[in-house]
Amino acid sequence: MHALTETELEVALSDLEGWEIEKDKLTKLFTFESFRDAMSFLMRLAFEVEEMNHHPEIENVYNKVRFSLTTHDAGSKVTEKDVKLARQIEKLY
């Protein structure tokens, strides 16, 4: 697994609306109607994440969930694996 180049990151971000690179991580903040909705989303996502064997950093405050994606095996940089997970998160959202 290799870290994506700046050009590869630009291409990946072109179809991931709202996702940004922050401190070498692919990140996005999602807002839900309620805490229950946010937690329900996280529970659904947990099954997908486990199947992919790629676990994001997750921050949950009431109805807001922030994801930060990076691949430890690539020096904690963004890889295609992170882009794939971001697309899966978007699909479930």
Q: Where are the domains of the chain?
A: 6-92
Q: pTM, whole model, 2 decimals?
A: 0.93
CB atoms < 10 A from the CB of 78, how many? 23
The CATH number that domain 6-92 falls under is 3.30.1360.20
CA dihedral 68, 90, 65, 17 (to 10 degrees): 70
pLDDT in tens, 9-51: 999 999 999 999 999 999 999 999 999 999 999 999 999 999 9
- Sheet with 64-69, strands from edge to edge, namely 20-22, 25-31, 64-69, 57-61
CB atoms < 10 A from the CB of 82, how many? 26
Q: Tell me if 62 sits within 8 A of 70, measured CB to CB.
A: no
